[in-house]
Amino acid sequence: MPFDITILLQQVSCDDEAAFRRVFDHYKAPFYSVAFKMTHTAGIAEEIVQEVFVTLWVKRRLAARAKNPEGYIFTILHNCIYAHFRKLAQERQLKSKIVQATEESVNPVETLLLEKEHRIILEKVISGLPPQQKIIYQLAKQEGISREEIARRLNISPNTVRNHLAAAVEYLRVCLKKEASAIIWAVIWMYV
């Protein structure tokens, strides 16, 4: 069957997972190539590709109505790459401010308290994950175990691991974004 993105996206908008798989298989390699070229990091490129397809699935009904479906999908890729670099810049700026404030501070106890606060917030957010997502996230992100190894250990498919990991990362991103403003205010309060 020939590859027709317009027809496939219409099928995807009706929750057709087989059509989504065809779209994924068709675009996975070129998207990875673009993301890797921009980030120079395999893991980040992989995460960006996952984010593109999670976004495409979430916005599948909008994608099906797009006048230029392929352009729509590539725009999602561009936006995910741009969001990665914007997040990186914000993290660097925040780290720079924290380092500068820490260097100006003569009280190491405040620094230790701030680090403990960060760990507590992260642990709290991770504990809110569903059990399977929590296990997969901890194995992948905290212990550095590959998705294939996690799949083997948990006796599930690598795609299931990927889906759980993508959902966990998205959940953490949303929760930590909410917590970020509290952290920034804590930093400002401690060093003003």
- Given this model, what pLDDT does residue 79 score? 92
Q: Among 10-14, 56-60, 84-88, name the one with the lowest average pLDDT.
A: 84-88
The structure tokens listed for 122 are 């992260």
Q: What is the dihedral of CA 183, 184, 187, 191, to 10 degrees?
A: -160
Q: Among 46-55, 81-90, 115-124, 151-160, name the one with the lowest average pLDDT.
A: 115-124
User: Position 67: which residue type?
Assistant: K
DSSP one-letter code for 142: I
What does 5-26 look like in DSSP terms, one character per residue? HHHHHHHHHTT-HHHHHHHHHH
Q: Which residue has the higher pLDDT, 130 or 175?
A: 130
- Residue partners of 72: CB distance under 8 A and separation at least 6: 62, 63, 66
Please say whether the beta carbons of 3 and 17 come within 8 A: no
Mind listing the pLDDT tens digit for each residue in 121-160?
A: 777 878 888 888 888 888 887 788 888 888 888 889 989 9
Q: Among 21-35, 59-73, 129-143, 172-186, name the one with the lowest average pLDDT.
A: 172-186
- Given this model, what pLDDT does residue 109 score? 62
**pLDDT level of residue 192 (50, 70, 90 thresholds):** very low
Q: Which residue has the higher pLDDT, 121 or 188?
A: 121
What is this structure's pTM? Answer: 0.51
- Given this model, what pLDDT does residue 131 score? 85
